[in-house]
Structure 1
Amino acid sequence: MNRHLMRKGIQRFILYVLILLFVLVSLLPFYWITISSVTDQHELFSIPPKYFPQPTLENFVNLISQLPFQEYLRNSLVFATGSTVLAVFLSFLAAYGFARYPVPGSGLLLLGLVLSMALPEITTVVPLFRILRDLKLINTVRGLIVVMSSVLIPFTVWTLVSFVQRVPSEMEEAAIVDGTNLLQRLWYIVLPVMKPSIATMLAINFINAWNNLIYPLVFTSTPQAKTLSVAVTEVFQARTPYGRPWELISALGVTMVIPAVIIVLVSQKAIVSGLTRGAIK
C-alpha cells in the first residue's frame, strides 16, 4: 500500500513538474516581449542581457508620437468588433436555419461553407479587391468589416450548427403552443441556452479579426483606415543604430496582445456564468 501511494505521489510530482515547465516555456515569449517593451534601447541590446531592467514607458511614448496611434487603435477596435458582431449575428441565424429547417441540398451547402475555409486568404485578395473597388469601399473600415465578416462566417456557422441541434426542440414546441413567434423563440429560448457558445465564438472571431494583417494591408493605404496590425509593418521598416527598432516593435506587440487577453478573460466569465442559466430559464 505504501509503495502504491509512493508511486502515485512520484507520478503526480512528475506531472506537476512537466506542467510547470510547459507553462514557463509558454509564458517566456510573452515575458520577454513585455520586458523589451519597457526597456531602454541601449539596455535592450546590452551584453550580457538584462532580464530585470529598470522599466520605462519611453518606448510607448515614442510609439505614439511616431505613428497616428489613436487612429490605428480606433480603426482596429471598430474593425474587430464590427466584423465579429456581424459574423456571429449572421452565423447564428444561418446555423438556426440549417439545424431547424433542413431542405434538400442544405447539407451540401454547409459542406461548401466548410470547404471554403480551406482557401488561402491570398487567393481571395484580387476578387475581393475588385468587389470593394466597385462598391467604393476601398480604404474604408466598412469595407474591411464586410470582408473579414465574410471570412469568419463559414467557421462560425459550422460551429454553431451543432450547438443549435443540442437545444431541445421540445422547448421551442412548448413556446409555439404558448403563441410565441420566431423572433421571441430565438431571443428567449435559443439564445440564452447558446450563450456559452456565442461568447466563445465572439472571443475567437475578435482575436482572429484583431490579428488579421493581409486584408488591412491590401485594402487600405491611409491612416483613416489602417489598423494596428499594419502599423507593425511600418515600424519594422525603420532603422536604428541597433538595426530594427525592437523596443518599439515590442511595445506595439504588447499593445496588440492586451485587448485579446481582456476578451479571453471576459469571455471565460461569460461561458462559466451562462453555462446552465439559459436552460433553466
Structure 2
Amino acid sequence: MTTHSLSGRAEEMGREQRAWLERHSNAIAIYIALAVFVVFICFPFYYIVMSSITPRTDLFNIPPSYWPSSPTLENYRNMIDSVPFLTYLRNSLIFAVGSSLVSVIASAMAAYALARIKFPGSNVVYMLLVLSSALPQIAVLVPMFETFQSFNLINTHQGLIILMSSLMLPFSILILVSFIMQIPVEIEEAALIDGANIVQVLTRMMVPLLLPALSTMTVINFIISWNELLYPLVFAQRDVTKTLSVALVELSSDASTYTRPWDMLSALSVFMVIPVLFLVLIGQRMIIAGLSRGAVK
C-alpha cells in the first residue's frame, strides 16, 4: 500500500471520527455531566462510610486518606454502647412510618374533598393551606408545646405522629389535589351510573389511579419524618420516644469541633441513611407498578 493511499485512509478515518463526534456530542456531554453529578452526590456518603470504619486517631490525618489503612467496626460498637441505639431505632421507625401513613391517608381524603366537592369557602381553605406550608416550624413551636402538654401528648409516640403529620399535611394535600384534578370526573360519574356507590368508586377506581401519587408521597413523607430533628428534640425528652436524629445531637453535645466523636457520628449517620436508600429502591418499584395499574385505559 502506497504512502498516498495510507494518508487518504487516515484522512477518511479522521472525517468519520469527527462526524461520529458531531452526531453524538450531545449524548457525550449529557453522560459526562451525569457522571460528574453522580460523583458529586455519592462522594459525601462514601466519605461517611469510610469515616465510620476508620480508627478515630486516623480521621484527621494530613493529607487525608480516602481509604482506611486498618478498617475497624469499633466505631459502631462504641456508638451502640454510647446511646440506646435499638430503642432510638424503634422510635424512629414508629415515628416515620406512623407519620407518613397518617399524613398520606388524611391528605388523600382532604385533597379529594377539595378537588371534587365545591363548597362555600373552598378557595379560602386552599389558600390557607398554601400559606400554612410556608409557615416556619419555630414560629408555632411554643403554642404547639403548650397545647400538646395540656393533652398529655409530650413524650408519646402518638403525640409525635400527630405533630409531624400536621406539618406535612399542607404540602401533601397540595400535591394530591393536582393529581386528582388530572383524573376526569366522567370516570366516577360513569361508575355511579353503573350502580357503584361512593365507597366503591373511591376504593376500586380512585385509589388505583392515585397509587403512583400516594406511593410517592409516602416515600417523601417517610424521608422527611426520618430526618426530622426539631420536633423530636423538643417533644421527646425521654429515651422511650427519642429518635436517631436526637442521638446525633446527644453524641455531639459538650464537644468542640476536634473533640466531637466524628467516628461514632459517622457510624450513626450510616445507619440513618441505609433505611432511606432501601425505601427509595423499594419505592421506585411501587411507583412503576402503580403507574401500570393506575393507567386510564
Q: TM-score, normalised on structure 2?
A: 0.89
Structure number with greater Rg is: 2
Deviates more, 1:146-155 or 1:61-70: 61-70
In the TM superposition, what are the counterparts of 1:109-128 in structure 2 within 5 Å? 109-128=125-144
The whole-number CA distance in structure 2 between the counterparts of 1:256 and 1:98 is 36
> 1:204 — aligned with what?
220
> 2:291 — aligned with what?
275
Secondary structure at 2:265 match in 1: helix
The whole-number CA distance in structure 2 between the counterparts of 1:100 and 1:241 is 54
In structure 2, what residue type is equivalent to 1:64? I
Secondary structure at 1:274 match in 2: helix
Q: Is the 8 A contact 1:193 1:276 kept in 2?
A: no
> Offset of 1:174 from its aligned partner?
2.1
Change (3 A) 1:11 1:97: closer
CA displacement 1:5-61 (0-9 Å, x = unmatched): 432334433332222112111111111011111111122233332212133221111
In structure 1, what residue type is equivalent to 2:24? G
Secondary structure at 1:56 match in 2: coil
> 2:24 — aligned with what?
9
Query: Among residues 32, 50, 61, which one is paired with 1:46 in the alignment?
Result: 61
In structure 1, what residue type is equivalent to 2:223? I
Secondary structure at 1:221 match in 2: coil
CA displacement 1:85-120 (0-9 Å, x = unmatched): 001001000011111112122012111101101111
The whole-number CA distance in structure 2 between the counterparts of 1:40 and 1:147 is 39
In the TM superposition, what are the counterparts of 1:39-118 in structure 2 within 5 Å? 39-53=54-68, 54-118=70-134
Q: TM-score, normalised on structure 1?
A: 0.94
Unpaired runs of at least 5, structure 1: none
How large is the RMSD of aligned CA atoms in angstroms? Answer: 1.9
Q: Percent identity?
A: 46
Unpaired runs of at least 5, structure 2: 1-14
The whole-number CA distance in structure 1 between the counterparts of 2:262 and 2:247 is 14
Secondary structure at 1:194 match in 2: helix
Deviates more, 1:58-67 or 1:166-175: 166-175
Q: Give the paired residue count.
A: 281
> 2:9 — aligned with what?
none
Q: Is the 8 A contact 1:238 1:245 kept in 2?
A: no
The whole-number CA distance in structure 2 between the counterparts of 1:241 and 1:165 is 51
Query: Among residues 22, 25, 43, which one is paired with 1:28 in the alignment?
Result: 43
> Offset of 1:162 from its aligned partner?
1.1
